[in-house]
A and B are shown apart, each in its own frame.
Chain A
């Protein structure tokens, strides 16, 4: 009676994939896989997953470590650093939301609406700061709108804002207050970023509303149970103009094709 006669367990298959199987069980597992095609397929699939994960994220460990992680820097101004580090993450998220809600209370009595705008503004603030990954799917990819429309559950379009020197970079999918949300990002040649956020809203139809919160502002409206938020730098006239343009385009209910095509030629430029 050899080890290879001992039945192979699921844990052993995982250990085999992860290279931590005791050597004396290796032959047994390999013999098992030779006659159990389903298990062999699982093993191949798990390996492919691991390869994909390493391919996607492995290189990050070879990046030059940014200065902010220099340990001496981190510990120097002790007390202040502790406070900042401990609360930075939460403050960034909650502060934005709280400020926004406080600001919006008088203007918009509908509670669902406030959470909605807070989410939109959080997303805006988070992603405009992204240098390398501001979007998930580029404007040039034809599945951008079908994908986000399917996830949000409404026919979305990314308004053409070229008239305001705003080029569509692309979009991403986000968790929203009432389900998935789409965030489209636009950029001026000077690198100013605007976002257009769309998601289901549990709020009645509204007219356009302008709200500023610090150096960021947003114009929002709800139409057919979809909330739209245009966010950007707090320059009132310009933001309202841009939002009105987006609003008109959403209202016109024209086929999206022209918008898509015009918004696309980004790649080489």
Chain B
């Protein structure tokens, strides 16, 4: 009981990080997280063990899909996708470029990439979150990475912050 709530609370920072990267909007992101928490607490009886973290990411991912549907802003992705030439570099251009490159991805691809590299989920966990086979996760991951590469290559040299 208390353990469940504690684990949910402990996940909030990571959920906020994921939501922010997913939506690129702090307010929308925090609304999504709040909605996720409310649902998780309400559905505690539906949670039969397993990875709590994956479960929370699943709720958040689904809520975000609903949100996009509700907004029904169809040109959003296509518009940014076509040929957004990133702008001449300033010191922060790297951060903005990766933001735009992420924005140009299809939602499922962006979600896979973020869950893997930002949230550190395993491929199997990502497959659970998205409700797809692992092969689909791998192809989404590959497509996301190639598209970001194309996006960044098309316009300027690759990111500078290679460590």
Point out residues on A near B: beta carbons under 8 Å: 10-11, 14-15, 18, 20, 42, 44-58, 60-63, 65-66, 68-69, 71, 74-75, 81-82, 85-86, 88-90, 92-94, 126, 129-130, 132-133, 136-137, 141, 143, 147, 150-151, 173, 175-180
Contact = CB atoms under 8 A, between A and B. Distances in A.
Nearest to B97: A52
B14 A88 contact: no
A92 B34 CA distance: 15
Interface in B1-30: 5, 8-9, 12-14, 16-17, 20-21, 25-28, 30
B68 to A, nearest CB: 10
Nearest to A20: B122
A69 B141 CA distance: 31
B162 interface: yes
B26 A54 contact: no
Mostly, the A contact residues are helix
B50 interface: no
Contacts, number: 157
Given A47-B162, A93-B71, A180 B34 contact: no
B79 A126 contact: no
B75 A48 contact: no
A207 B85 CA distance: 34
Contacts of A129: 27
Nearest to B162: A48
Contacts of A82: 38, 42
Nearest to B146: A42
Contacts of A10: 138, 142
Contact of A74 (B28, B32, B41, B102): B41
Given A63-B16, A94-B70, A151-B84, 16 more contacts: A45-B149, A49-B145, A52-B98, A52-B161, A53-B98, A53-B102, A55-B161, A56-B98, A58-B17, A65-B12, A88-B31, A126-B27, A130-B27, A132-B26, A147-B87, A175-B73
A89 B161 CA distance: 35
A15 B98 CA distance: 21
B75 A179 contact: yes
Contacts of B13: 60-63, 65
A233 B20 CA distance: 28
Contact of A42 (B25, B32, B97, B149): B149
Nearest to B37: A74
Given A60-B20, A175-B75, A53 B9 contact: no
